[in-house]
Amino acid sequence: MALQLSSLWLHSPTISVHSIDCRSKTKPITATLLSSSSSSSSSLASSPPTIQIVGGKNATWHGNSNSNGGFEESDWVDLDADLYYWTKPLRPVQWYPGHIAKTEKELKEQLKLMDVVIEVRDARIPLSTTHPQMDAWLGNRKRILVLNREDMISTADRNAWATYFAKQGTKVLFSNGQLGMGTMKLSRLAKAMAAGVNVKRRAKGLLPRAVRAGIVGYPNVGKSSLINRLLKRRMCPAAPRPGVTRVLKWVRFGKDLEFLDSPGIIPMRISDQAAAIKLAICDDIGERSYNVTDVAAILVQMLAKIPTVGTSALRNRYKIDVDGNCGKIFVQKLALHLFNGDAHQASFRILSDFRKGKFGWISLERPPR
């Protein structure tokens, strides 16, 4: 039987594959279908997939070989190079809804009123969720960096990022907006950093006012959830998808702190497509901007190279073999195995499993050396 996918051809004795180039940058790999028709039948008749959490809270890519599961510095370079190579033949991922342009203009005006700015990023991809113009917008304004979803990365990854930002002199706080972890510390830190505002007001004979803190960041990184957890009630619309918040909104926290909730802001054009793919994997960009099957295939290839996950985790979870290093073949086989050949459903299952932490605590980025 011949399976056909869609965009760049790889040849093997039994399968024709099209779309993502499954080769690494330096070592081209030809994917082959290992199972015979009889083994395929037995695979389809096998029991449904069982959930297996691989890795654990101590899994990490940092440090030496004794603590990083064997993932060395050179392996990181190879993975980054491969990710760049894998994205080259794909349609560029671009997402810039109309409301973002309006928000960006309004936000720049509101930033002038801020005493402190709270920038929220996704702890799994802190670099990819960095707006390239944020430093220019903020200037010398005081900033707190929040890495949200700390429950989705390992303790060692958390410590590595904390050390990296501390060396840069950036105040960093880790949080879990869904459970409220880190929210009270955030409010105390915001008031402490902006305490000088009311000192100056009193010196001028003015009455003190509430500290104004603006919360900014990419779509779906958890800005509104953090505010709702702080207020202990649903004051800002929040949902696990990009683009829910569409207008700027001030909310008051007690007598001495005000927050500005803002829609996610993203560059008009994303030049780094490796970063764009990571945004898609982590659901930090609109689904209409990318091909779900292509993104899932790249995720499979990334997971296969991470020692704390690897091909064995994919095989154990979905009960199918991982063919070489080609994620596109794996997605198609999963589609035949569980979804009557529907590659879109199979791709969504893989992405959903990653986003729910079914493969363990995984960071997709490391601090620059």
Tens of pLDDT, residue by residue over 271-319, are 899 999 999 999 988 888 899 999 999 999 999 988 788 888 899 999 9
Strands (E), the chain: 10-11, 16-17, 116-122, 142-148, 171-175, 211-217, 249-252, 257-261
Highest mean pLDDT among 80-89, 125-134, 191-200, 227-236: 125-134
Residue 171's alpha-carbon distances to 79, 127, 129, 149, 161, in angstroms, are 29, 16, 17, 17, 12
Alpha carbon distance 100, 266 (integer Å): 7
Range scoring the smallest mean pLDDT among 45-59, 132-146, 334-348: 45-59
Of 351, 354, 216, 237, the closest CA to residue 287 belongs to 351
Tokens 């509430």, residue?
210
**Angle formed by the axes of helices 292-305 and 327-338, to 10°?**
110
pLDDT of 154 over the 80 cut: yes
Give me the pLDDT at residue 48, please: 40
Average pLDDT over the chain, rounded to an integer:
76
Tokens 């994919």, residue?
314
CB 43 within 8 A of CB 319: yes
Tens digit of pLDDT for each residue in 46-70?
444 333 333 334 433 433 333 444 4
Q: Please, is 87 exposed, middle or buried when counting C-beta atoms within 10 Å of its C-beta (0-12, 13-18, 19+)?
A: buried
Alpha carbon distance 22, 30 (integer Å): 8
Which whole number is the average pLDDT over 165-188?
83
Give me the pLDDT at residue 251, please: 81
Q: Tabulate helix, strand, coil % of the chain (nearest 5).
A: 40, 10, 50
The residue among 102 and 143 whose pLDDT is bigger is 143
Query: What's the token pair of residue 115?
Result: 């005493």
pLDDT of 28 over the 50 cut: no
pLDDT of 211 over the 50 cut: yes
pTM here is 0.75
